[in-house]
Amino acid sequence: MKNMTKSMTTAADHLSIFQYRRGREYEGNRFDLSPRPERFKKYNGPCLRLKTSVYKDEGLRSVGGLTGREMLERILLPSFGVTSVKFHGHQSEMLWSFPSAGGCYPVEIYVAVRRLGEVEPGLYYYCALETSLYKLANGQAAGGLAPSLREADRDADVYFILSVVPWRTCWKYSHKGYRFGLLDAGHVAANFQLVLRALGFRFSAYTSLHSAEVGELLQLDEYEMPIAIIASRLYDPKADDPAKPSATDAPPLESPISRKCRHSEDPDIRLFDWEPILDFQRKVELSVREPSDRWLTQLSLPSEWTDYGRLLQLIIERRSSSAYTRCELAAAEFRAMLTMIFRLGLHSSFHAIVHGVEGVRPGVYRYEYGRPVCLSEGNYRETSSDICLGQAFIRDCSVLFVFSVDASHIPEDEFSRYQQCSIDGGMLGQMMYLKSQEMGLGFSIIGGYYDEELRELLQLPPTHQIVCAGAWGRNVPDAASVRKNDRYQLNRPQR
Ligand SMILES: Cc1cc2nc3c(=O)[nH]c(=O)nc-3n(C[C@H](O)[C@H](O)[C@H](O)COP(=O)(O)O)c2cc1C
């Protein structure tokens, strides 16, 4: 791989590769130079086909009585599934149960089964398009995850492993695409956690792991990185469940192994300058040591959405807004969103650029432990849109939320926390989507903003890194028919 960058020394240098600068927005990308990367991996071999749909009222039908395959259906379909198809003239695109920057969909899911009724233990690739599991390794292979797990999670029943294929986003966004992949994955991880909880299962959500070792276990190539694991207990260890084989039982007959199709490898991947991202990953890997509680997400799940049917409905109906009605949101709506954000426990302080909320003067606010500090009053609609790469629809949202972390609180030997913060940021984003959906309001996570300029507007020192923003408001009445510009580009016919 080519090394086109000068050596980087400080954390700020390393993180600068993920930031937008005016006039250099797409520097380094391959959007106009290389064909669009394949959006899906392909495996050859026998597969375990899951149902293609799950009905809401089936969700909780005596979870105890479900087969292993039925449990996987109820978890995988809503967490990582296609929920809608959108047509642009005679082109169509699939929309998913989680958002993705520019519709690039870099996240992949693997399932490691230790104990799951009739489902053979082993490692599987989950192909969401076919709702099928392709087996990559037999038997006790899931044990290979142990170095990335706390003692308490080494005996879980099933592990969901999230990886990202950065080429799918870096092709369009250059190095920033790597950060977008982490945010995308955070949204997916939020779905998994909410769905598992609604089904009554216990789990631990890891946002840190030994990426290289897990990648080797899953036989991933160097361009795909595992970044999160959700260790789940689907059985009560004390219950005498006939579907639960003990760990010492002879494994069931083992089916053949699937192999990745070689023709899905893309030669243009090598033309991209990976060095700054590899540099970042090396720093992350160096600071990842022994599994501990610090490897888990910092997010506390909101108390909402413990009913599986209700959750399913919100996840399925979730969409990113493309156009807002310029209006004031009710003070109670604003309070409800602020309360949920605080209860997630990720950000004791964050910013809101208020364009229109009843009883709140428009302006830039910092919310510290729930209390607003007005930084400057005024109409910031044009400024918000301009700072967010000129995205016009942001002018009309009622609030632009901005979440940041203070890098001066992150010691050098905990560098991996930058990666964890982005994954956590994605989880926060998905909670805001679902909350907005529940309230009948529109939301879109926003990854496109000029970092330096936004920091200045929010009066943040350079040590603060912006994790993500979110535009919130009331959708226009015909919201579904409005084109989402940041993903539409991808669906242009290829030259
Ligand atoms: C990390 C991230 C960044 C995003 N940034 C933007 C953005 O800057 N502007 C925008 O309009 N949408 C943005 N989106 C929303 C995507 O365009 C949207 O998720 C995608 O088109 C799929 O549509 P859906 O969310 O309705 O399923 C972003 C989504 C993610 C996950």
Per residue in 24-42, pLDDT (tens digit) is 998 999 999 999 999 889 9
Tell whether the model's pLDDT for residue 252 goes beyond 90: no
CA of 430 to the centre of ligand 1 (A): 11
Instruction: Provide the β-strand partners of residue 404.
Output: 466
- Residue 246 has a pLDDT of 44
Nearest CA, atom 7, ligand 1? 446
> What residues have CB less than 8 Å from 6, skipping those under 6 apart?
none
Q: Are residue 291 and residue 324 in the same domain, yes or no?
A: no
Residue 370 resides in a domain: yes
Q: What percent of the chain has pLDDT over 90?
A: 75
Residue 141 resides in a domain: yes
Q: Identify the top-confidence range among 41-45, 139-143, 271-275.
A: 271-275
Higher pLDDT, 405 or 12: 405
Tokens of 106: 């870099």
433 lies in which domain range?
320-490
Residue 2 resides in a domain: no
Nearest CA, atom 19, ligand 1? 99
Tell whether the model's pLDDT for residue 492 goes beyond 50: no
Instruction: For residue 318, give the ligand 1 atom closest to its CA.
Output: 26
Residue 4 resides in a domain: no
Contact 355, 379 (CB under 8 A): yes
Tell whether the model's pLDDT for residue 177 goes beyond 70: yes
CB hemisphere CA count around 133 (13 angstroms): 26
Tell whether the model's pLDDT for residue 374 goes beyond 60: yes
Q: Are residue 291 and residue 328 in the same domain, yes or no?
A: no
Q: Are residue 154 and residue 55 in the same domain, yes or no?
A: yes
CA of 198 to the centre of ligand 1 (A): 26
The last residue of one of the domains, among 279, 295, 311, is 295
CA of 203 to the centre of ligand 1 (A): 28
Q: Are residue 342 and residue 450 in the same domain, yes or no?
A: yes
Residue 302 resides in a domain: no
Contact 50, 109 (CB under 8 A): no
The candidate with the shortest Cα–Cα distance to 395, out of 423, 362, 351, is 362
Lowest mean pLDDT across 146-155, 228-237, 263-272, 421-430 = 263-272
Residue 144 resides in a domain: yes
Domain count across the chain: 2
pTM: 0.94
Tell whether the model's pLDDT for residue 14 goes beyond 50: yes
Q: Are residue 350 and residue 453 in the same domain, yes or no?
A: yes
Nearest CA, atom 11, ligand 1? 486
Q: Are residue 287 and residue 345 in the same domain, yes or no?
A: no
Instruction: For residue 102, give the ligand 1 atom closest to its CA.
Output: 17
Residue 3 resides in a domain: no
Residue 6 resides in a domain: no
Q: Are residue 357 and residue 271 in the same domain, yes or no?
A: no
Q: Quick check: helix, strand or coil at residue 117? A: coil
Average pLDDT for the chain = 90
CA of 327 to the centre of ligand 1 (A): 22
- Reported confidence tier of residue 249, pLDDT bands at 50, 70, 90: very low
Q: Which of 446, 454, 491 has most ligand 1 atoms within 8 Å of CB, for mutation?
A: 446
Instruction: For residue 322, give the ligand 1 atom closest to its CA.
Output: 11
Higher pLDDT, 299 or 12: 299
Say which CATH number the domain at 395 has: 3.40.109.10
> How big, in percent rounded to 5, are the helix, strand and coil portions of the chain?
35, 25, 40
Q: Are residue 266 and residue 339 in the same domain, yes or no?
A: no
Q: Are residue 132 and residue 253 in the same domain, yes or no?
A: yes
Q: Are residue 283 and residue 361 in the same domain, yes or no?
A: no
- Residue 6 has a pLDDT of 52
Q: Are residue 287 and residue 147 in the same domain, yes or no?
A: yes
pLDDT tens string 388-399? 999 999 999 999
Lowest mean pLDDT across 147-151, 197-201, 409-413 = 409-413
Tokens of 243: 């579907």
Name all residues whose Cβ lies below 6 A of ligand 1. 95-96, 99-101, 103, 180, 183-184, 187, 319-320, 391, 444-448, 484, 486-487
Q: Are residue 264 and residue 228 in the same domain, yes or no?
A: yes
- Reported confidence tier of residue 235, pLDDT bands at 50, 70, 90: confident
> What residues have CB less than 8 Å from 262, skipping those under 6 apart?
none
> What residues have CB less than 8 Å from 452, skipping those under 6 apart?
19, 21
Average pLDDT over residues 4-27: 81
Nearest CA, atom 31, ligand 1? 100
Q: Which of 107, 472, 486, 489 has most ligand 1 atoms within 8 Å of CB, for mutation?
A: 486
